[in-house]
Structure 1
Amino acid sequence: MNIGKKHLLVNLRIFFSFFLLSTFACLTAFAQDWVRTGTNLGAAKVRLAAANFKPTSADPQTSDLKNAFDTTLFNDLSNAGIFDMVSKSMAPPLMPGSPQEMNLSQWSAPPSNADMVAFGAIGVENGRVTILGYLFDAKNQQSPQILGKQYTDIANVNNVRNIAHRFADEIIARLGGIPGICETKIYYVSSRGGNKEIWVMDYDGENAHPLTHLGTISLSPRVAPDNSRVAFSSLGKNGWSIRMYSLLLNRMVSFPSPGGTTVSPAWSSDGSKLALSASITGDPEIYTMNSDGTGLHRVTAFRGPDVSPVWNPKTNAQIAWVSGRTGLPQIYIMDADGANVQRMTDGGYATSPAWSPNGQFLAFAWNRKYGPGAPGGQDIYIMDIASKRWTQLTHDSGRCDFPSWSPDSRHIVFQREDGNGTQIWTMLADGTEQHQLTHGGSNSMPNWSWK
């Protein structure tokens, strides 16, 4: 790495660290059990069985594709967080492939005790896979069918996984009354060979691959609400600027980034606006602009760095961001025109706000006991905006940062740095069911797609 690049990296670390040697006031903890995100509403979970699908062809691909489908479907339904899944070891050793082959009493009886059963058949012919999927009410012998779907595509593992995602989302929507997230993507930064490129993976960590091949350092990917483009900040010959990757054209497209050090882009939920941080005047401030790069408008004007803006996706009328105007970084919210500024955190070191799609919560990284000799650690928290009550989701399990919400407001993806490096994790929005998604290299700054 040349000296100029190292100098820029040092400056970047300083810029994002908000002068780490400052002191702070500690915050007293309170209220840890008030959170209601849709994962802990007190309702009994539907007990759901997912039968292994019945193979209906002798094609050599059938077995591998069936295994991929069965595994993906079961994991998708488990990850939803709204079902009590029947373990495969407790399910009847049956593979009903059609409604005529389903014996509901075998599934509703112990040890399965299933309320609902997902089942079906998979076959391959002439290079195409056909999958028939059903959802039955195990307690309704007279009219049990809730769902019946047929899917067909070119026969390969990736397509079969996508079909499983679609079928799982259908089940989640029908039984949970909410859109599923199984077809969503996660965009993130991955470090390979000294460079940092923008990557994408399925919501469950599978099918990971790079989008960019710029040979430099790119950060903070943010996908547009219509999944057409990914905005991110990237280091070029003129410093840090906003760049744009088209998911429709599968290539970089031009974008008129403002001058100065320009970082941390964020889309409004209608896709018409971007918010970002730019040091056009020498001090990093929050700006907004149209999604085509026109109409640049300065929103903040206060000494100290202002970075990491994010819109209230429910209304697009407010922006949360991080400001160092009082010393250590804190989370603030304001109207989209800069009025009605409110400080949300009142101590420690708070960064990386993410606004829940339902507009109710902020997720952020917070070291509440930051300072020399303090026993604190950086964890993920969520805060109810109306009351400013917060709860801690991760607990002393490494340095956690950059939370991002799933479009159903019920899951959060984040990065965790520990002795094994930096990887991406996911969890339910109440902090339970934490799972590691990435394992190779260094992976950070995840952003969950809107749909």
Structure 2
Amino acid sequence: MTIGNKQAVSSFRSFLIFAAIFILSGTFGAQAQDWVRTGTNLGATKIHLAAANFKPTTNDPQTASLKTAFDTTLFNDLSNAGIFDMVSKSMAPPVMPGSPQEINLPDWAAAPSNADMVAFGALGVTDGKVTVYGYLFDAKNQQTPQILGKQYSDNASMDNARAIAHRFANEIITRLGGVAGICETKIYFVSFRTGNKEIWVMDYDGENQHQVTHLGTISLSPRVSPDNSRVAFSSLGKNGWSIRMYSLLLNRMVTFPSPGGTTISPAWSSDGSRLAFSSSHDGDSEIFTTSGDGSGLHRMTAFRGPDVSPVWNPKTNGQIAWVSGRTGLPQIYIMDSDGANVQRMTDGGYATSPSWSPSGQYLAFAWDRKYGPGAPGGQDIYIMDIASKRWTQLTHDSGHNDFPSWSPDSRHIVFQREDGGPTQIWTMLADGTEQHALTKGSANTMPNWSWK
């Protein structure tokens, strides 16, 4: 790296410390998590669901390995959904029903499995094609038990076996949970594993991690467009920090007219027609918007102090939340999408990295509530109900947590955590339960969940 680049990185890092990583805070008092679980559709009684191992139907050498990948992925997808009480494989009947004629529902409904619903089916490989028949039956309804019956076929590969499992799991989740499943969604993130900070992508469950950009510099804050066609991000180039654009359809960089100055933290409106970002184009860092192609530059804020990290209300696109240091330490504000009705949402501590839930009801954020010299506080993930300003803490005493991003079903949050080693990407349910890491090894940061 050249001396000029080192100076630019140091300058930008200083800018970020005070300006570019913000989200929410507040002095509203701790609340119980009941309102969180209800609002994110996690509070209802869970369906007791069994997922039988699928029956192999051919002797092709690939059948066994693809069936194992399928069975594992389907069970994990249904377990990760957060709306099912999964029947342990050890409690299920030791059979593999491959068709409706082969399943004995009373066996599944009885102890020890006590299943309400059963997912089952068959998988086989023939002439390089994997074919799956999947069923979902109501174990308590002997008269008309079938809820789903699906057939899938694709080229025989491990990735396609997993993809079919994701599709079938989504069908089940949508039918029983009332909200579209997230099993086919992606998570974009920044990884240092190649020696440069590049944009990477993985399946929602951490599988199939692969590199997107190959720019050989520092790229940050990836944001995928709502139609999954482009990824906007900020990147360090010869003219400093600018917004860059990568086409997922063309698999290459495409032109985007970044306005100049230090331009960072892009965010898409939910209809894909607008982009918001922070830029020092006019001197002080302010929030700007453009159309999706970069035209129609419009300044949204005009206050002394850094304004960064904008995010649209995806439900209406009628509001933008962002972080401002105009009163000292970073705090969260919201405003109408035309810049009117500015409201301060938080007060106290050091609040960064806003993420607006798809329902429009919540903001997730990173918050060091006891920020200051000698303070013992750490940075955790919180969420706040916009209307009432009630907040609740989701992570506790587990390192430095930042950059939350909502799943499209509003039931999950992905975030980064640094806890004594390289920063990694974690996921959890929106009430803070079921936390687990998705990455390992070299530093992986700044996750962004795809819209679909």
TM-score tier after normalising by the smaller chain length: over 0.9
1:336 shift after superposition: 1.0
Query: Which has the bigger relative contact order, CA under 8 A and spacing at least 6?
Result: 2
* Aligned match of 1:442: 443
* Aligned match of 1:325: 326
- Paired with 1:179 and 1:226, the residues of 2 have a C-alpha distance of 16
1:53 shift after superposition: 0.2
3-state SS of 1:430 partner: coil
Q: What's the RMSD between the two structures over aligned residues?
A: 1.4
- Paired with 1:63 and 1:44, the residues of 2 have a C-alpha distance of 35
Q: 1:26 to 1:234 in 2, by over 3 A?
A: closer
* Aligned match of 2:371: 370
1:192 shift after superposition: 2.7
Is it true that 1:395 corresponds to 2:402 in the alignment? no
* Aligned match of 1:92: 93
- Paired with 1:210 and 1:42, the residues of 2 have a C-alpha distance of 37
- Paired with 2:248 and 2:274, the residues of 1 have a C-alpha distance of 18
Which runs of structure 2 are paired with 1:225-264 in the superposition (5 Å)?
225-264=226-265
* Aligned match of 1:296: 297
3-state SS of 1:106 partner: helix
* Aligned match of 1:341: 342
Amino acid aligned to 2:4: G
Amino acid aligned to 2:112: P
| Alpha-carbon contact 2:290-2:298 (below 8 Å) kept | yes
* Aligned match of 1:13: 13
3-state SS of 1:52 partner: coil
* Aligned match of 2:128: 127
Measured against aligned partners, the alpha-carbon deviations of 1:146-189 in whole angstroms (never above 9, x if no partner) come to 00000000000000100000000000011111100000000000
Is it true that 1:278 corresponds to 2:279 in the alignment? yes
| Alpha-carbon contact 1:38-1:410 (below 8 Å) kept | no
| Alpha-carbon contact 1:39-1:428 (below 8 Å) kept | no
- Paired with 1:348 and 1:184, the residues of 2 have a C-alpha distance of 34
- Paired with 1:350 and 1:284, the residues of 2 have a C-alpha distance of 18
| Alpha-carbon contact 1:32-1:392 (below 8 Å) kept | no
- Paired with 1:197 and 1:337, the residues of 2 have a C-alpha distance of 33
Which runs of structure 2 are paired with 1:169-208 in the superposition (5 Å)?
169-208=170-209
| Alpha-carbon contact 2:185-2:450 (below 8 Å) kept | yes
3-state SS of 1:231 partner: strand
Measured against aligned partners, the alpha-carbon deviations of 1:238-297 in whole angstroms (never above 9, x if no partner) come to 000111010111111111111111000000000000000000111100000000110000
3-state SS of 1:16 partner: helix
- Paired with 1:372 and 1:278, the residues of 2 have a C-alpha distance of 30
1:32 shift after superposition: 2.9
| Alpha-carbon contact 1:32-1:390 (below 8 Å) kept | no
Amino acid aligned to 1:9: V
3-state SS of 1:199 partner: strand
Which runs of structure 2 are paired with 1:63-212 in the superposition (5 Å)?
63-212=64-213
* Aligned match of 2:313: 312
Measured against aligned partners, the alpha-carbon deviations of 1:39-89 in whole angstroms (never above 9, x if no partner) come to 565421100000000000000000000000000000000000000000011
3-state SS of 2:433 partner: coil
* Aligned match of 1:287: 288
* Aligned match of 2:411: 410
1:421 shift after superposition: 1.3
| Alpha-carbon contact 1:26-1:369 (below 8 Å) kept | no
- Paired with 2:71 and 2:153, the residues of 1 have a C-alpha distance of 16
- Paired with 1:245 and 1:27, the residues of 2 have a C-alpha distance of 40
Amino acid aligned to 1:135: L
- Paired with 1:425 and 1:234, the residues of 2 have a C-alpha distance of 24
1:36 shift after superposition: 3.7
* Aligned match of 1:29: 29
3-state SS of 1:164 partner: helix
**Which stretches in structure 1 are left out of the alignment for 5+ residues?**
none
Q: 1:94 to 1:371 in 2, by over 3 A?
A: same
Is it true that 1:386 corresponds to 2:393 in the alignment? no
3-state SS of 1:293 partner: coil
Amino acid aligned to 1:103: N
1:338 shift after superposition: 1.2
- Paired with 2:393 and 2:446, the residues of 1 have a C-alpha distance of 20
Determine what percentage of the aligned residue pairs are the same residue.
Answer: 80
Amino acid aligned to 1:7: Q
- Paired with 1:307 and 1:420, the residues of 2 have a C-alpha distance of 28
| Alpha-carbon contact 1:354-1:362 (below 8 Å) kept | yes
- Paired with 1:338 and 1:26, the residues of 2 have a C-alpha distance of 22
1:29 shift after superposition: 3.3
3-state SS of 1:122 partner: strand
Amino acid aligned to 2:13: R
Q: How many corresponding residue pairs?
A: 447
- Paired with 2:194 and 2:10, the residues of 1 have a C-alpha distance of 19
3-state SS of 1:18 partner: helix
Measured against aligned partners, the alpha-carbon deviations of 1:355-384 in whole angstroms (never above 9, x if no partner) come to 000000000000000001111110000000
The TM-score, its normalising length taken from structure 2, stands at 0.97
- Paired with 2:74 and 2:146, the residues of 1 have a C-alpha distance of 19
Is it true that 1:58 corresponds to 2:59 in the alignment? yes
- Paired with 1:162 and 1:344, the residues of 2 have a C-alpha distance of 41
- Paired with 2:43 and 2:385, the residues of 1 have a C-alpha distance of 19
Is it true that 1:218 corresponds to 2:219 in the alignment? yes
**Which stretches in structure 2 are left out of the alignment for 5+ residues?**
none
- Paired with 2:117 and 2:391, the residues of 1 have a C-alpha distance of 36
- Paired with 1:255 and 1:178, the residues of 2 have a C-alpha distance of 35
Measured against aligned partners, the alpha-carbon deviations of 1:88-127 in whole angstroms (never above 9, x if no partner) come to 1111110000000000011000000000000000000000
Amino acid aligned to 1:237: K
3-state SS of 2:398 partner: coil
Amino acid aligned to 1:249: L
Q: 1:336 to 1:39 in 2, by over 3 A?
A: closer
